[in-house]
């Protein structure tokens, strides 16, 4: 049995993944574009120039392109992947009423391109026939909640006025799930504080994936922001998180069994792992 010791104190229920803004490989002029009061960093490529961005592990990208309506207005942009032309995109020329770029003047609404780069992609190049403002961000993977095949019950957890459905798992009634294909799963767990339980507590999760067991140890405290709507005598701990990467295209059986107390668990998987 493989044993991993984790001391994870996660404050509240965090966002699953965040978009990351990419910087050009070579230094480029930064233009701050304000949209409805919020500032975004764009990079300027003047007419005849281009911007190169390094593509890392995140192959799903979202590209925002704007152009000036007062000088060197661009009509299109070309996107290259590893030096090969991928696509030509026609730009919108509608004036943005919400966006403002200091020093540029009137600009267009953003033309948004969603790009799923091939695995071999290392670099993308963006070039226009005029002055263009470019922002490239990674697109976080989409996760969905997976309902267990078996569990010890359902718990409605309220956190910051938002409701999250958890499944109860006990040593005698673990939570069991079926997942399809390869990808990443995320397991959120919260120790269930019984009446009389005080202070810092320790518990473990025995996670069995296709017969292979791994033990995750946690140290936690009561959550100050969460409660169970359907049983207010019980209190949840702060959330702890485990990420597991599954490989292969077969059906995976996952069993989550706690020791040291009953737990509330919530399992999420990438959308591609949900059988349709």
Domain closes at, from 117, 138, 159: 138
Residue 151 and residue 42 share a domain: no
What DSSP assignment string belongs to the chain?
A: -EEEE----B-SS--S----EEPBSS--EEEEEEETTEEEEEEEE-TT-EEEEE--S--EEEEEEEEBSSSSB-SEEEEEETTEEEEEEEPP-PBPSSEEETTTBSBBPPEEEEEE--TT--EEEEEESSBEEEEEEEPPPPEEEE--SB-S-EEEEEETTEEEEEEEE-SSS-EEEEEESSEEEEEEEEEEEPTT--S-EEEEEEEEETTEEEEEEEEE-B-SSEEETT-TTSEEB-BEEEEEEE-SSSEEEEEEEEESS-EEEEEEEEGGGS--
Same domain (yes/no): 159, 235: yes
Q: How do residues 246-264 score in pLDDT, each as one tens digit?
A: 988 789 999 999 999 999 9
Quick check: 16 pLDDT over 60?
A: no
The predicted pLDDT at position 148 comes to: 96
**83/162 same-domain check:** no
**Same-domain check for residues 28 and 121:** yes
Residues 92 and 151 in one domain: no
Range of the domain at 259: 2-16+142-273
Same domain, 68 and 205: no
Same domain, 122 and 256: no
Specify whether 31 is located in the same domain as 81: yes
pLDDT at 211: 93
- Name the more confident of 259 and 161: 259
Confidence of residue 3 (pLDDT cuts 50, 70, 90): very low
Using CA atoms, how far apart are residues 82 and 118, in angstroms rounded to an integer? 10
How many independent structural domains does the chain possess?
2
For the chain, the distance separating the N- and C-terminal CA atoms, rounded to the nearest angstrom, is 34
> In the listed set 138, 162, 177, which residue is the last one of a domain according to the structure?
138
Within this chain, do residues 163 and 205 fall inside the same structural domain, yes or no? yes
Please report the pLDDT score of residue 218 as a whole number. 97
Same domain, 6 and 29: no
Cα separation, 103 vs 96, whole angstroms: 15
Tell me, yes or no, whether 104 and 156 share the same domain: no
The verdict on 182 and 252 lying in the same domain is: yes
Of 85, 103, 138, the domain-final residue:
138
For residue 182, give the CATH number of its domain: 2.60.120
Judge whether residue 7 has pLDDT over 90.
no
**pTM score:** 0.58
Q: Can you name the residues that pair with 254 across neighbouring β-strands? A: 177, 209
């Amino acid at each position: 049995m493989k044993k991993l010791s984790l001391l994870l104190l996660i404050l509240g229920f965090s966002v699953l993944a965040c978009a990351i803004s990419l910087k050009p490989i070579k230094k480029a002029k930064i233009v701050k574009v304000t949209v409805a009061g919020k500032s975004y960093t764009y990079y300027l490529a003047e007419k005849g120039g281009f911007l190169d961005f390094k593509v890392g592990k995140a192959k799903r990208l979202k590209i925002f392109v704007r152009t000036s309506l007062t000088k060197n207005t661009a009509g299109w942009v070309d996107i290259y992947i590893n030096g090969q032309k991928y696509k030509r995109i026609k730009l919108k020329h509608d004036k943005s009423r919400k966006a403002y770029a200091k020093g540029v003047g009137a600009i267009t609404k953003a033309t948004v391109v969603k790009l799923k780069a091939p695995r071999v992609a290392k670099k993308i190049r963006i070039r226009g026939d005029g002055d263009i403002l470019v922002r490239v961000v990674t697109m976080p993977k989409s996760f969905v909640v997976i309902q267990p095949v078996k569990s010890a019950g359902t718990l409605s957890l309220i956190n910051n006025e938002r409701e999250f459905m958890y499944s109860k798992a006990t040593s005698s009634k673990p939570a069991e799930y079926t997942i399809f294909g390869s990808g990443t799963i995320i397991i959120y767990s919260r120790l269930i504080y019984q009446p009389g339980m005080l202070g810092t507590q320790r518990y473990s999760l025995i996670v069995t994936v296709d017969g292979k067991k791994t033990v995750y140890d946690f140290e936690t405290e009561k959550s100050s922001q969460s409660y169970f709507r359907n049983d207010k005598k019980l209190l949840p701990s702060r959330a702890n998180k485990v990420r597991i990467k599954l490989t292969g295209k077969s059906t995976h059986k996952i069993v989550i069994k706690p020791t040291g107390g009953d737990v509330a668990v919530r399992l999420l998987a990438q959308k591609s792992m949900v059988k349709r």
